[in-house]
Structure 1
Amino acid sequence: MEEGSSYILTLAEELGPWAWLIGGIVLLALELAIPGSFLVWLGLAAVIVGLVSFAVDLSWQAAWIGFAVLALILLLLGRRWFSAERTQSDRPHLNERGLALIGRRFTLLEPIADGEGRIRIGDTLWRVQGPDLAAGTRIEINGSDGATLIVVPVAEAGN
């Protein structure tokens, strides 16, 4: 085991700054194979340490400390820059169709009996929960529980 690890250390020492550049490129390539936006920051830190090592003769300790500090800074900045809060969508409920229907009004085609019924919206039948209502009643969707819409009569919705 010691022979293999000494070979790697010797190779890294012989390559010098190139070892950091090669390591950084390998990490960036791994990010493409294993996406998750983590390895990209480590790869960039390694590439930066490699480029700095060409200009300044860094000891291995300074290079590793620089890599650790840069990786942490880039990771924190990257997470903040690409966070979910920063990415706004023009269709925030695209995959949550029930939530996208909240506030919309429809006319019941079938009555709601025992608190449950169905409504047709476009070409889709939705399960609805709400007070017992007759067919033809105007309702407003005021909630969603999975694939079930919560409805109230328009008069009770405050309008």
Structure 2
Amino acid sequence: MLAKIVAELGPWSWWVAGLVLLAAEMIVPGFFLVWIGLAALIVGALSLLFWDSAFWVWELQAILFALLAVATTFAGRRLTLRNSTTDEPFLNQRSASLVGRTATLHEPIREGRGRIRLDDTLWQVMGPDLPAGTQVKVVSSNGRDLTVEPVSV
């Protein structure tokens, strides 16, 4: 059935495939199918030029499509990463965004471990042994653990 459709559409089959991939991009989350769809449209444009040529066999078209799909995907990724700037650099790094803040120890630091409350969360902290109620400053973060030191008055 697919061979019949390709035979009937001729060089336009790549255009149809490209447009189907671009339409699928609207349904599937992410920003990936657009580059593969672009590769299909490029092969479609070349097919319009070379369809009657003896060298333009389906194997060459498939290889060219695969190479263009990889190339456009890498180029698109590079393009989107280069242009991605944010005004919130710690958006998905909550503990890193806490560095520099001060808090009061909720639980004392004993044997290097304690807890502070920042906003609505209790955080594990590491630092010198200190009693509960001491003002501390977050100096670094490592995953979920925060390193604190006492605030000098």
Q: Please say whether Structure 1 and Structure 2 have the same fold, judged by a TM-score greater than 0.5.
A: yes
**1:83-122 residue pairs with structure 2 within 5 A?**
83=81, 86-108=83-105, 111-122=108-119
TM-aligned CA deviation for residue 20 of structure 1: 0.9
Alignment-derived partner of residue 50 in structure 1: 44
TM-aligned CA deviation for residue 134 of structure 1: 3.1
Instruction: Give structure 1 stretches of 5+ with no counterpart.
Output: 1-6
**Structure 2 CA distance for partners of 1:71 and 1:97, relative to 1, 3 Å:** closer
Q: The residue matched to 1:119 in structure 2 has which SS?
A: strand
- In 1, distance between residues paired with 2:49 and 2:124? 67
1:11 to 5, 16, 28: 5
Instruction: Give structure 2 stretches of 5+ with no counterpart.
Output: none
Alignment-derived partner of residue 3 in structure 1: none
Alignment-derived partner of residue 81 in structure 1: 79
- In 1, distance between residues paired with 2:36 and 2:93? 35
- In 1, distance between residues paired with 2:66 and 2:111? 63
- In 1, distance between residues paired with 2:40 and 2:12? 10
Large movers: runs of 4+ above 6 Å: none
Identical counterparts, % of pairs:
47
Query: TM-score when scaled to structure 1?
Result: 0.72
Kindly indicate whether the alpha-carbon contact (under 8 Å) linking 2:107 and 2:116 is maintained by their aligned counterparts in 1.
Answer: yes
Alignment-derived partner of residue 32 in structure 2: 38
- In 2, distance between residues paired with 1:122 and 1:71? 46
